Chain A
Amino acid sequence: MSWRIKGDFNCIIGSGDACKTTILTALDYALSPRLALSFDDSDFFNQDVDQKILIQVTLADWDETQPSIRHFFQESKFAQYKCGLADTGPLPEPQADGVVAVSLSLRVDKSLEPIWSVVKGRDEEDDQDRKPIYAADRAVLGLSRLDIASDAHFTWGRNTILTRLSANNEMDLGGVIAALARGMRQSDISSQQSIMECQSIADSIKEESESAGVKLTALSPKIDIQRQSMTAGAVSLHEENVPLRNKGSGSKRLIGAAMQMKLHGGKNISIIDEIELGLEPHRIRGLTYKLKKSRQQIFATTHSPVVIRELSATENELYVCKRDAAGIVSLESLGSVPDIQGQVRFNAEAFLGSKIVACEGLTEIGCLRAYDTYRFDENNPPVWSLATSYFNCGGAGRIKSVCPKLIQLGYQTAVLCDNDASDQLSAEDVENLRNGGAYVCQWDDGNSTERQLFADLPWHHIPMLLTKISENHDTLELATIIDCITQDSRVAGQNLGTQPTAWTDSQVLRTVMGEMAHSSKWIKRIDYAEKLFRFAFPLLPDASNIKLRLAELWTWIQRNE
């Protein structure tokens, strides 16, 4: 896959197992100052080790007044390895008035040995002009991972932020710690009771060894400080007497981010998988805001609608990651879809799944939620377990503009809309949606959702339906409902009376009630509609239009593509 990065804040969203974290890890591996990485066969695509792993990252827009960057771009280092950058990717040379870039590649072949180099242009040929780049020079790029390894960043261990912040000071932490460790090893502990017990065991082993032919001069228990465990990494930040690693995960994330902002004057790269982890919404917003204001480039993933709402689709801060059946991964900026910003803020949750049911309005969402529970009760998995979200289009007229965009972003999209406003959504529009790959679930011609419900429900349940509408509603009285219906000009002549149970079934009466419910917005709220349909679904015949259509939609949702 290739990813053209457009801005400084890049957050990847997408359904589970779409490779979001893998993309961050690839960036981390390619740019991080680690001395070595261990790979095994399972890291290769389909475990095919003959297809080498190749990660190439091209960077531009650095601050060449910084001493570390100037050092990096000396003739003896990479001055002659600056390259160009076009929309299609890196070029061997800068173009006239074009971007000057530098491109790093990490190759791993079946020897499993990672090789980092700076290449000029796309890394395709083995004989391409390339120069190895070692960990110390990669450190100049200032990449830190602020998620998984964040505990280590509170120590002065290898490559941590603290160590890099201290890089210019001539500190001999390692020497100091080693001397302490040496002192500990040499200290006399033999008078301790438990050590004396160890000593008697040691004596018996010495004897046993001698009988086995190994002559030992003296054997005693002493503290063995492994050099690797007592290095500068043993020095870590403490708050009072408590190590920072014992802080809550959210606080650690914030402190880590704060330390990273000090590195290289803040001009660096941070990787944060699941940026919201351990943070309350207000802290998520605070962190996102701080990161956006810093000079860093951020690569993050999220599963949080709070993060999505904080970021700007139009400034290409949100990318959808998708993986097709062949395993090919791609990223698409939400900003590539015009006019999507409002939808992203309004329907943030919907963008976190892989399938979206775009609903005409609140009534339809409520209807679907009720159907979800209804089917769940019958031992079917509810919609959310299939990574499907509801999306409020906000009116029939918007369906035809919104759905193609969702499809373009890679979401499998279904439409649930009523069929009473052909001026807003014509039969031709529906046909176009279907041709564009959307699954369309629509009621009978001329029917709103409410009218379809009144048309489909067996007559003897209608009085209870009217009662339920009134009960669910905050302010609507049953008497008002009955008044409105009985006074409608189409049925006023029938002298219906105030007892719905006494009314007789007729097409015209059902139509009047349905239209009234629709136009007076009796159930036009997610909870109103949801409660009403939870009442209605068990009573609706399986052969009713509502149930047939929703069953088809259900099949579409269940289908694995």
Chain B
Amino acid sequence: MSDEVYRAIAEAASGFVESPAGCGKTEAIVRTVGTYCSGRQLILTHTHAGIDALRQRFREHNIPSGKFHIDTIAGWSWGWVRRYPNNAGYHSSTEIAVWNEVYAAMSILLQKNFVRKGILNSYAGVIIDEYQDCTVSMHRVIADLKLLLPCRVLGDDLQGIFGIVDEPLIGWSDV
């Protein structure tokens, strides 16, 4: 991928990049954030392996840590929901996450003004990696987030490594 693509990703109000595995999507995230984005980016992925891979790459490129925050969609949502269960309408345990409720709860939280302000204070944009692994409820969280901040999603529909989830995976047509 070229610098024009990175710049386009950085400047997009929202959009998606679809490309097969091995075409440099991780590289694109790192280059985009490191060079073309202004302000801190929230980078969401799905697995801790994914987080480690991204962190590793950011280190290799010497990108200052102030430019990004990497988390899983699950971890990031849970961080908010477990601290505001009442506001989120989440009535299950705050010790152990009940995942099929967490994302809906996060969607509710994203309607709250004080939550929105906190996110706006923290980030200038959102980048979601491995979007093909998103479930429908995760997708709703991202759709709500898109109303607040530029959301750029990257993925390919061949890479779905978690086939065994209760929820339907999101189809590209929904993005």
Give the docked Cα–Cα distance between A70 and B123 (Å). Answer: 11
Interface 9-mer from B7-15, B19-27, B81-89, B96-104: B81-89
Cross-chain contact B83 with A80 (CB below 8 angstroms): yes
| A79-B84 contact, Cβ under 8 Å, with A64-B117, A94-B114 | no
Contact residues of A between 28 and 84, Cβ < 8 Å to B? 64, 70-71, 73-76, 79-82
Which residue on B lies nearest to A101, using beta carbons?
B114
In angstroms, how far is the closest chain B Cβ from the Cβ of A52? 25
Q: Mark B76-95, 1 if CB is under 8 A from A, else 0.
A: 00011001111100000000
Residues of B within 8 A of A81 (CB): 83
- Tell me if A510 is interfacial: C-beta within 8 Å of chain B: no
The residue that B119 contacts in the complex, of A75, A82, A129, with Cβ under 8 A, is A75
Chain B, interface residues (CB within 8 Å), range: 10 to 19
Cross-chain contact B79 with A80 (CB below 8 angstroms): yes
- Tell me if B118 is interfacial: C-beta within 8 Å of chain A: yes
Residues of A within 8 A of B113 (CB): 100
- Tell me if A120 is interfacial: C-beta within 8 Å of chain B: yes
Cross-chain contact B87 with A70 (CB below 8 angstroms): no
Give the docked Cα–Cα distance between A75 and B87 (Å). Answer: 17
Residues of B within 8 A of A71 (CB): 121
Cross-chain contact A94 with B121 (CB below 8 angstroms): no
Which residue on A lies nearest to B118, using beta carbons?
A79
Cross-chain contact A93 with B121 (CB below 8 angstroms): no
Residues of B within 8 A of A80 (CB): 79-80, 83-84, 118
- A-side binding surface: helix, strand, loop or mixed? loop
Total contacting residues, chain A, CB less than 8 A: 17
Cross-chain contact A76 with B69 (CB below 8 angstroms): yes
Residues of A within 8 A of B122 (CB): 74-76, 79
Cross-chain contact B83 with A73 (CB below 8 angstroms): no
Residues of A within 8 A of B85 (CB): 93
In angstroms, how far is the closest chain A Cβ from the Cβ of B146? 18
Residues of B within 8 A of A74 (CB): 118, 121-122
Give the docked Cα–Cα distance between A70 and B112 (Å). Answer: 17
| A79-B87 contact, Cβ under 8 Å, with A94-B114, A100-B114 | no
Q: Mark A109-135, 1 if CB is under 8 A from B, else 0.
A: 000000000001000000001000000
Residues of B within 8 A of A129 (CB): 83
Cross-chain contact A93 with B86 (CB below 8 angstroms): yes
Give the docked Cα–Cα distance between A71 and B86 (Å). Answer: 25
Cross-chain contact A70 with B80 (CB below 8 angstroms): no
Give the docked Cα–Cα distance between A82 and B122 (Å). Answer: 14
Contact residues of A between 194 and 218, Cβ < 8 Å to B? none
Number of A-B contacts (CB under 8 A): 45
- B-side binding surface: helix, strand, loop or mixed? helix
In angstroms, how far is the closest chain A Cβ from the Cβ of B55? 16
Which residue on A lies nearest to B40, using beta carbons?
A74
In angstroms, how far is the closest chain B Cβ from the Cβ of A121? 11
In angstroms, how far is the closest chain B Cβ from the Cβ of A93? 5
Residues of B within 8 A of A93 (CB): 84-87
The residue that A75 contacts in the complex, of B69, B84, B112, B114, with Cβ under 8 A, is B69
Give the docked Cα–Cα distance between A464 and B123 (Å). Answer: 90
Contact residues of B between 25 and 69, Cβ < 8 Å to A? 69
Give the docked Cα–Cα distance between A249 and B85 (Å). Answer: 52
Give the docked Cα–Cα distance between A560 and B118 (Å). Answer: 55
In angstroms, how far is the closest chain A Cβ from the Cβ of B47? 21
Cross-chain contact B118 with A73 (CB below 8 angstroms): yes
Contact residues of A between 432 and 462, Cβ < 8 Å to B? none
In angstroms, how far is the closest chain B Cβ from the Cβ of A106? 22
Residues of B within 8 A of A120 (CB): 83
Contact residues of A between 79 and 100, Cβ < 8 Å to B? 79-82, 92-94, 100
In angstroms, how far is the closest chain A Cβ from the Cβ of B85? 8
Residues of B within 8 A of A100 (CB): 113-114
| A73-B87 contact, Cβ under 8 Å, with A80-B80, A100-B114 | no
Give the docked Cα–Cα distance between A399 and B69 (Å). Answer: 68
Which residue on B lies nearest to A75, using beta carbons?
B122
Cross-chain contact B121 with A70 (CB below 8 angstroms): yes
The residue that A82 contacts in the complex, of B79, B86, B114, with Cβ under 8 A, is B114
| A73-B121 contact, Cβ under 8 Å, with A80-B79, A82-B114, A100-B114 | yes
Which residue on B lies nearest to A91, using beta carbons?
B86
Residues of B within 8 A of A73 (CB): 117-118, 121
In angstroms, how far is the closest chain A Cβ from the Cβ of B93? 15
Give the docked Cα–Cα distance between A375 and B129 (Å). Answer: 89
With most chain B CB atoms within 10 A of its CB, the pick from A71, A79, A94, A120 is A79
Q: Mark B98-135, 1 if CB is under 8 A from A, else 0.
A: 00000000000000111101110111000000000000
Q: Mark A473-510, 1 if CB is under 8 A from B, else 0.
A: 00000000000000000000000000000000000000
In angstroms, how far is the closest chain A Cβ from the Cβ of B77? 12
Residues of A within 8 A of B79 (CB): 75, 80
3 tightest A-B contacts by CB?
Answer: A79-B118, A75-B122, A74-B122
Given A79-B117, A80-B84, 20 other A-B residues pairs in contact with their CB atoms under 8 A: A73-B121, A74-B118, A74-B121, A74-B122, A75-B69, A75-B79, A75-B118, A75-B119, A75-B121, A76-B69, A76-B122, A79-B119, A79-B121, A79-B122, A80-B80, A82-B114, A93-B84, A93-B86, A94-B112, A129-B83
A-B contact pairs, 21 of them (CB 8 A): A64-B117, A73-B118, A73-B121, A74-B118, A75-B69, A75-B79, A75-B118, A75-B119, A75-B121, A76-B69, A79-B118, A79-B122, A80-B79, A80-B80, A80-B83, A82-B114, A82-B118, A93-B84, A94-B112, A120-B83, A129-B83
Query: Using a CB–CB distance below 8 Å, which chain A residues touch chain B?
Result: 64, 70-71, 73-76, 79-82, 92-94, 100, 120, 129
